[in-house]
Amino acid sequence: MSLFVFFPAYAQEHLVEMEKELENTSLSVEEKLQLYDDLSWEYLGSDFVKSSFYAREGIRLAHRESNFLKEGMLYRNLGVAYYMKSSYDTASVYYDKALKIAEEEKNIHLQAAVSLAFANMYNMQCQPEKALAQYQKAISFYEKENDRQRICAILGNIG
């Protein structure tokens, strides 16, 4: 029983430490962007406001610094935040932005992640044909990366 109490408290404490780290003026832009990415992802399941806030802040910084790949990753995070909130139209807008960047940057990992995000969204919307097409697209990208673990997870989703 104490494990269930300890873990959430530890996780929350870790997030607060990450938030405080953003105030560190000696951080490089890359370090700041990574913190925005991590915070937006870590808050996905527990706090939409914080997740979307950190994603938006990161997007602004990434855009200003012309770090398009990180901008795309943060757009994906923002899309997932809206997906978790069941705001599928808004999620789709951010997924599209992330996908455009992933294709321009020719980044297979981000293309796979966005395809997977679209697939999960279509699955939740009871659109199995669209979901299957996106799952297959994600698998093809993960095959290029030889990421067997993700391929297995996607095959489980398909099943």
Q: What is the pLDDT of residue 5?
A: 38
Q: What is the pLDDT of residue 31?
A: 97
d(Cα 133, Cα 118) in Å, to the nearest integer? Answer: 10
pLDDT in tens, the chain (159 residues): 334 434 455 567 888 899 999 988 899 999 999 999 999 999 998 999 999 999 999 999 999 999 999 999 999 999 999 999 999 999 999 999 999 999 999 999 999 999 999 999 999 999 999 999 999 999 999 999 999 999 999 999 998
Neighbours of 16 (CB within 10 A): 10
